[in-house]
Amino acid sequence: MKRTFLITGASKGIGLALAHRLATRGHTVIGIARNPTDAFPGPLHTLDLSERSANGELARIVKESNVDGVVNNVGLVRAAPLGDIAIETLEEVMRVNLHPALMSIQSALPGMRTRGWGRIVNISSLTVLGSVQRTSYAAAKAALVSFTRSWALELAQTGITVNAVSPGPTETELFRANNPIGSEGEARYLSGVPMGRFGQPDELAAAIEFLLSDDAAFITGQTLHVDGGASIGRSSL
Ligand SMILES: NC(=O)c1ccc[n+]([C@@H]2O[C@H](COP(=O)([O-])OP(=O)(O)OC[C@H]3O[C@@H](n4cnc5c(N)ncnc54)[C@H](OP(=O)(O)O)[C@@H]3O)[C@@H](O)[C@H]2O)c1
């Protein structure tokens, strides 16, 4: 069955890798990003989801596109140590990570309910388990896990599933902007991954694609950590 999926933050990294996977299977993909690119395999709407006013436009696009699934992938990181976190930063990070997620699924819901089928995947982060300099970001990503569990319960009998994917350090532009090659951050993240390497965008996309599939129909409310074992923690053995 061919479906229509909307991905926020779709022009690079994990979102773009997912778009290519879905398009290869014959699904229609609709993307949202700030800048246009020819690399996206479908209609890409240019919207800055950090602008409050963009949420209305996002809601309109979701509704008009009759989407079967939504991947809430857009994210914003503002790294800062405790002691240096402005309330405005906390608010901005919460807004960008959470408002588009809520707006997009609320707009998608009526159509999904009518069809009795829907898929929602929220992209969280390994940092929800605790991370230095990520107070705002980790809190926002933890809220996405909470959204996932609450929405899964409310929608459990509708044919709509809601799950989260929690990436560990994955080699994308966002990751490299915050952790340049040779940086202390890169070394710290690498030391926390038992597999001893960073994830690739397509490895995250593979997990998200599965949760969007018919085969994943009995899975809801779950958070799948895709992180080379980083969420297990270190054994002292
Ligand atoms: N990479 C990691 O290590 C990692 C780890 C844990 C969680 N995550 C999460 O995974 C998700 C994807 O991250 P990624 O690493 O794939 O990011 P990425 O490579 O930097 O790509 C981000 C995408 O989002 C778009 N975007 C950014 N800000 C936007 C805005 N305000 N409005 C609309 N579009 C916007 C970007 O396009 P434009 O620049 O053109 O807008 C781009 O398409 C995020 O939620 C992130 O928090 C990533």
Predicted pLDDT of residue 185:
86
State the helix-helix crossing angle for 54-64 and 87-115, rounded to 10 degrees: 20
Q: How far apart are CA 218 and CA 211, in angstroms?
A: 10
The model's pTM is 0.97
Q: Whose CA is nearest to atom 36 of ligand 1?
A: 9
Do 193 and 154 form a contact (C-beta atoms < 8 A)?
no
Show the ligand 1 pocket: residues with CB < 6 angstroms. 9-15, 32-35, 47-50, 73-75, 96, 123, 125-126, 167, 169-170, 172-175
What is the whole-number distance in angstroms between the Cα of residue 27 and the centre of ligand 1? 22
Among 137, 147, 151, 198, the one annotated catalytic: 137
Predicted pLDDT of residue 235:
59
pLDDT < 70 stretches in the chain: 234-237
What is the whole-number distance in angstroms between the Cα of residue 6 and the centre of ligand 1? 15
What is the whole-number distance in angstroms between the Cα of residue 185 and the centre of ligand 1? 18
Second CATH level (architecture) for the domain 4-224: 3-Layer(aba) Sandwich (3.40)
Q: How many CB atoms lie within 10 A of CB 61?
A: 18
How many residues does the structure list for the chain? Answer: 237
Predicted pLDDT of residue 234:
65
Predicted pLDDT of residue 237:
54
Tell me which H or E stretch contains 216.
none
Residue corresponding to tokens 């402005």: 86
Q: Whose CA is nearest to atom 41 of ligand 1?
A: 34
Any catalytic annotation for residue 137? yes
Predicted pLDDT of residue 169:
95
- For a mutational test of ligand 1's pocket, the pick from 44, 52, 74, 128, i.e. the residue with the most ligand atoms closer than 8 A to its C-beta, is 74
Q: Whose CA is nearest to atom 24 of ligand 1?
A: 9
- For a mutational test of ligand 1's pocket, the pick from 38, 40, 172, 176, i.e. the residue with the most ligand atoms closer than 8 A to its C-beta, is 172
Task: Give 123's strand partners.
Answer: 165
Give the residue extent of every domain in the chain: 4-224
What is the whole-number distance in angstroms between the Cα of residue 2 and the centre of ligand 1? 26
Q: How far apart are CA 122 and CA 167, in angstroms?
A: 11
- For a mutational test of ligand 1's pocket, the pick from 20, 32, 34, i.e. the residue with the most ligand atoms closer than 8 A to its C-beta, is 34
